Amino acid sequence: MIRVGSTLPEVDFSLLVDGEITNPGTNELFAEKRVVMFAVPGAFTPTCSHSHLPGYVALADKFKAKGIDSIICLSVNDAFVMDAWGKASNAEEIIMLADGNAFFTRQIGMDMNTSNFGGVRSLRYSIYVEDGEVKKLNVEDPGRFDVSDAQTMLDSL
């Protein structure tokens, strides 16, 4: 499992930009940047939609004021679902990034099998990354939402 001090693996993601699928890689998203990323088990799911994403939307300006270059929401969903979820959640300041095949999620050891929910999904976590290196990592225990929320991450910066 990834930990503080780890370098993120190079993976291509999916991102819908102006109606077109793009495939930014880890280096493009994280190199020479200060990035906060949080991962959720699934778009449009209750805790993710009512608490996790809205917290980062509400505090986006405060993250930017602390020098964060971008805020990324990651889920093992496709880019179309992530884009629709972002629009439905007024998440204009958040990069709604898709890890559709869970390549990244598996490589960093944050995958879980939720066969009764949707197959391979991501654990709920948040990370702060500087130039591709993990500086802070908050991983939730299964079924919990206590440490990966926006306020906890903001307070730790």
- Please give the positions annotated as active site: 48
Local structure of 23: helix, strand or coil: coil
Q: Sort residue 5 into left (φ over 0), alpha (ψ -120 to 50) or beta.
A: left
Gyration radius (Cα) of the chain, Å: 14
Under a CB-based contact definition with an 8 Å cutoff, are residues 51 and 145 in contact?
Answer: yes
Give the whole-angstrom CA distance, residue 128 versus residue 133.
8
What are the helix and strand counts (H, E) for the chain?
6, 9
- List the 34-40 sheet strands across, edge first: 94-98, 70-75, 34-40, 125-130, 133-139
